[in-house]
Amino acid sequence: MTREMTGAEMVIQALADQGVQHLFGYPGGAVLPIYDALFTQNQVRHVLVRHEQGAVHMAEGYARSTGKVGCVLVTSGPGATNAVTGLTDALCDSIPIVCITGQVPTHLIGNDAFQECDTVGITRPCTKHNYLVKRIEDLPRILHEAFHIASSGRPGPVVVDIPKDIQFAKGIYAKPKEFPHTGYQPRLKGDMEKIKEAIDLMAQAKRPVFYTGGGVINSGSAASDLLRELVKLTGFPITSTLMGLGAYPGSGPQWLGMLGMHGTLEANMAMHDCDVMICIGARFDDRITGRLDAFSPGSKKIHVDIDPSSINKNVKIDIGIVGDVAHVLEDMVRLWRTGALQADKKALSMWWTQIDKWRARKSLAYRASKDVIKPQYAIQRLYELTKDRDTYITTEVGQHQMWAAQFYGFNEPKRWMTSGGLGTMGYGLPAAVGVQLAHPEALVIDIAGEASVQMTMQELSTAVQYRLPIKVFILNNGYMGMVRQWQELLHGGRYSESYSEALPDFVKLAEAMHAVGIRCEKPGDLDAAIKEMIDVDRPVLFDCVVDPKENCFPMIPSGRAHNEMLLGGDAEDIEEAITEEGKVMV
């Protein structure tokens, strides 16, 4: 459609044309014309948040659980700066977000006007791309290009900064057919020669392992299906990063569990001892590799990634394939089938025997208790009582996040929303709001810690306002648990500022916010309390009081390699295991 309208109307029209149903935002002086345009239409539903950071996390949860672009609308100055944490989080975890920010009128830009900040300057390093719209003629094109850039290639956040006079200005709106940024052409198909080389290498492997990541999830459901097919065809073991959980089912026979700093022994040992590593949509992050010079020393490495800058960034790759995971996996599956390729059965069977020995060490084991709720036990019970439902899990950041990753079984993609790259405390509650909005009938649980949840817990009010029955399952140990764990292991048990002296009464707090509060302190009461939480059709704050001294194991101590993991029973040895150099690292 082509017709004359104001800039503010163009914003709403472009969102509607892009199929946007929900917009997370907070009004303010510099976006009032857009809020006025929102008022007179019913194509796009606005969700009023309590803080702009919450708006971006909600959009992230919405985007990750649906595969669509998440949309945010905030005002200039503090509205934009409050959104920065969420934008950075979305950049680190490759989540498609379009964030529209109001700006002071063009003639005031640079004048230190009220609620002015250099939004494009501030957000340049924390977005995939950003725009300051200076002419109404450019607005329709920029709005649509923003969606294209956010969702294509390696997804990420895009900011469109619109001065107030541009929102009032009138112009002709038309959906553009092409974009002037002709240099932006993400590559989808992988190089066939390299894919063939990779398949040949895989067929010769004696100790192979798949190492997959969030790229598989981002590539869409087809990518997960193809991955499962390739894993089944080859018979190879598979592990995944935190971001990639669910692409291959946690209950699948070839699943080794998550790898990395708090990954399982079998996953990390398989990575260390393998002879062929097939990395798909993961980026060799430092939480994964541990010490780089001792990272998987004897393996040939295949790396599939849509972002060429991820290949050879941290680890030298033997076969780098630039392309979309689903496209490349499709070629791999086809080549494996048509070539009637067979893995080396005998070698593979020996490899699995070795892996079973590592599995038998039961690296996730913990000491059960009848008196106090162990956090691992709480997650296990939560999983058992929710696994047969349509469940989505979000988390905050810390010990509870690692326990959720270790003990909650993810069998489908897009069911697990967590802040992996940036590690943003306060991500989970607003993300759960976004997920619930996209999946009104589903059970959405934020597995939280009592410290993290307090960073953005005002968004519970948003959940109440829109009748979104999210469940906030707080593993309450009174400490910033991961900080406490590191202080115990690295800083001689000096718990500097990691204990919360004055926690709120979460039950009363929930009630004050018109939500439901449940507290559970005994392992024997846990199942009944969780069932009660599930049955309530309103937002719930669940205060699960857990063992305050429990540590998260297994663990690769700083400065150590994959084959130097510490298991729960070795806790005493940890202080010795971490060298002076290791203490310097986070």
What residues act catalytically? 52, 114-115, 164, 482
Q: Give buried/exposed letters for 329-350 (b at 16+ CB in 10 A, else e).
A: bbbbbebbeeeeeebeeeebee
CA distance 99 to 314: 31
From 64, 384, 408, select the one nearest 243 (Cα to Cα). Answer: 64
- Contact status, residue 558 vs residue 583, Cβ threshold 8 Å: yes
- Contact status, residue 439 vs residue 402, Cβ threshold 8 Å: no
187 versus 439: smaller Cβ distance to other proteins = 187
Sequence-ordered list of residues with C-beta below 8 angstroms from that of 455, at least 6 positions apart, any chain = 396, 425, 426
Smallest separation, CB 414 to other proteins (Å): 25
Interface positions with other proteins (CB under 8 A) = 120-121, 124-125, 128-129, 132, 134, 149, 180-184, 286, 290-294, 307-309, 311-314, 316, 558-561, 563-564, 579, 581-582, 585
Would you list the DSSP string of 10-68?
HHHHHHHHTT--EEEE---GGGHHHHHHHHT-SSSEEEE-SSHHHHHHHHHHHHHHHSS
145 versus 547: smaller Cβ distance to other proteins = 145
121 versus 524: smaller Cβ distance to other proteins = 121
Smallest separation, CB 106 to other proteins (Å): 12
99 versus 226: smaller Cβ distance to other proteins = 99
Smallest separation, CB 327 to other proteins (Å): 19
Smallest separation, CB 510 to other proteins (Å): 41
164 versus 560: smaller Cβ distance to other proteins = 560
Smallest separation, CB 214 to other proteins (Å): 17
- Contact status, residue 317 vs residue 303, Cβ threshold 8 Å: yes
Sequence-ordered list of residues with C-beta below 8 angstroms from that of 158, at least 6 positions apart, any chain = 97, 98, 99, 127, 128, 129, 130, 131, 146, 147, 149, 150
350 versus 512: smaller Cβ distance to other proteins = 350
Q: Which element (helix H / strand E) includes 80?
A: helix 78-92
60 class by beta-carbon count within 10 Å (0-12 exposed, 13-18 middle, 19+ buried): buried
Smallest separation, CB 585 to other proteins (Å): 4
Smallest separation, CB 140 to other proteins (Å): 17
In DSSP terms, 212 is beta-bridged to 240, 280
32 versus 294: smaller Cβ distance to other proteins = 294
HEC profile for 182-198? CCCCCCCCCCHHHHHHH
Largest Cα separation within the chain, whole Å, is 74
Residue linked to tokens 């070539």: 339
CA dist 390 → 72, 383, 444 (Å): 27, 12, 9
CA distance 206 to 518: 52
96 versus 426: smaller Cβ distance to other proteins = 96
CB count in 10 Å sphere of residue 225: 15
Smallest separation, CB 99 to other proteins (Å): 16
Strand order in the sheet with 45-48: 45-48, 22-25, 70-74, 97-103, 157-163, 129-132
